[in-house]
Structure 1
Amino acid sequence: MLKAERDRIFEEWMEAHQAILFKVARAYGATHADREDLFQQMALQVWHSIEAFRGEAAVSTWIYQVALNTALAWNRKERKHGQGRQDLEAATGLLVSPASHDPRLEWIYQRIAELDEVNRSLALLMLDGFSYRDMSQILGISESNVGVKINRIKATLVAQLAKESNDEL
């Protein structure tokens, strides 16, 4: 594939699907700088991987898979170097502009950031409306395991919300 063709495809895909990278970066990066760095890493990996796209899944599904795999590897590397997720409160919001700040969205992203890697990935995919089949293909787990994990995630979030609501009373 010629570089010009790869660049054209990359620009087309980023225009249509960059929100996926923003969401994944927001879930896996603790600080604004982390999210920017992770976004760049994911975008670079998408660009490098264009030739590997076989068209067996939708472009959005494939980009999600590349983004999540890159985020997981990045997260392991960052943890290894002791940086980890430390600054959730300093979130500047890659997806939410200050004019449309929604505390419910902030709450859900904070709770998603507290999940382990697989559950965090599942929560993002669930919020974007992916089917259990697509989620299982992206993460390499069975559809039934996806269903069990999603039910547990929902139960955990409901319990946390109830606890926080009771604590405020």
Structure 2
Amino acid sequence: MVEEDPKLIFTRWLEEHSSSVIQVARAYTLTSEECQDLAQEILLQAWRSLPKFEGRASAATWFYRVALHTAMNWHRKDQPRRVNQKPLLEIHDPASNGTDGVDQVQQRETIEQLYSAIHQLPKTDAAIVLLYLDELSYREMADVLGISESNVGVRLIRAKKALSTLLNGESDES
């Protein structure tokens, strides 16, 4: 790693890539509290992994890789506890004050449906969808996941079909 203060590097990368951390955490959790817990775990793992960063991948790719691996491990380890646990009350952030309140509610419901469907996908398909939603190129997705670009394409098509089925019933749209 470059001879620069690790705290400065981490802070800069966090500013640039925090949205990907939240997006990954949200896709692997059911409640906003769990999302925050997982996001904290991802940041902790990223901080611990920073000395091992060799610069072979971009900071964005490295952050995604840490976030996805941490989320998948967290999900696997936490699954037994969550099977029988349901939240007593789901707390949602209030909509911001604006004239498009109905549109914001509809958009939030659509996003919730999307994340609910993503939760039902296999872990690798969920990871591909998250990377796609964050507009990464096939090359960047391949780097994050450690697979070929053509494999990314195949998996993405399969994941889109599965999401379409989950969101729209037995639709063939992608």
TM-score normalized by structure 1? Answer: 0.81
Question: 3-state DSSP class of the match of 1:130?
Answer: coil
Letter in 1 for 2:169: K
Does 2:50 match 1:53? no
Residues 65 and 72 (structure 1), Cα distance of their counterparts in 2 relative to 1, 3 Å cut:
same
Question: 3-state DSSP class of the match of 1:90?
Answer: coil
**Residue deviations 1:69-123, cap 9 Å, x none?**
11111111102x4325965993747xxx733441222221111111111000000
In structure 1, runs of 5+ residues without a counterpart are none
Given that 2:42 and 2:67 are in contact with CA atoms closer than 8 Å, whether structure 1 keeps it comes out as yes
Does 2:138 match 1:146? no
Hey, what's the Cα distance between the residues in 1 that align with 2:56 and 2:116?
Answer: 33
Given that 1:125 and 1:135 are in contact with CA atoms closer than 8 Å, whether structure 2 keeps it comes out as yes
- Counterpart of 2:32 in structure 1 is 32
Hey, what's the Cα distance between the residues in 1 that align with 2:170 and 2:154?
Answer: 24
Percent identical among aligned pairs is 39
Hey, what's the Cα distance between the residues in 2 that align with 1:70 and 1:63?
Answer: 10
| 1:161 Cα deviation after fit | 3.5
Does 2:122 match 1:116? yes
- Counterpart of 1:98 in structure 2 is 95
Provide runs of 4+ in structure 1 moved above 6 Å. none
| 1:62 Cα deviation after fit | 0.9
Given that 1:75 and 1:84 are in contact with CA atoms closer than 8 Å, whether structure 2 keeps it comes out as no
- Counterpart of 1:23 in structure 2 is 23
- Give the count of matched residue pairs: 159
| 1:50 Cα deviation after fit | 1.3
Given that 1:113 and 1:120 are in contact with CA atoms closer than 8 Å, whether structure 2 keeps it comes out as yes
Choose between structure 1 and 2: higher helix proportion: 1
Residues 56 and 154 (structure 1), Cα distance of their counterparts in 2 relative to 1, 3 Å cut:
same
Letter in 2 for 1:112: I
| 1:162 Cα deviation after fit | 3.2
Question: 3-state DSSP class of the match of 2:121?
Answer: coil
Over aligned residue pairs, what C-alpha RMSD do you find?
2.7
In structure 2, runs of 5+ residues without a counterpart are 97-103
Hey, what's the Cα distance between the residues in 1 that align with 2:35 and 2:134?
Answer: 19
Residues 159 and 126 (structure 1), Cα distance of their counterparts in 2 relative to 1, 3 Å cut:
same
Hey, what's the Cα distance between the residues in 2 that align with 1:85 and 1:73?
Answer: 19
Given that 1:28 and 1:113 are in contact with CA atoms closer than 8 Å, whether structure 2 keeps it comes out as yes
